[in-house]
Amino acid sequence: MPLLSNVVGFSLFGLATRFYQLGIQRRNLFENPGGHVIAMAVFGYGGYWAYRWDIRAAELLALKREEIRQRRGQVAMTADE
């Protein structure tokens, strides 16, 4: 579910960006729906990439925390001796 909400949220942001772009140019908002689809697809892919990045970053942080925990345990054991 988080993946779907992330992709949909980013794609809606892409649609809003497209509407803003056409609004600045004072063009008809419903003139070329293909442009809206392209903008939504590009931003949706960005949302997918951001979701995958978040998952990978969490995995890397967990690994790094485990390494730090192990090193601190080794240092504590050598300090006790």
Q: Tally the domains of the chain.
A: 1
When computed from its CA atoms, the radius of gyration of the chain, rounded to whole angstroms, is: 23
**Residues spanned by the domain of 25:** 2-80
77 residue type, one letter: M
Judged by DSSP in three states, 45 sits in: helix
**From first to last of its 81 residues, what are the pLDDT tens digits of the chain?**
889 999 999 999 999 999 999 999 999 999 899 999 999 999 999 999 999 999 999 999 999 999 999 998 887 777 766
pTM confidence score: 0.78
Rounded CA separation 69/33 (Å): 54
Closest to 35 measured CA to CA, from 22, 45, 23, 44:
22
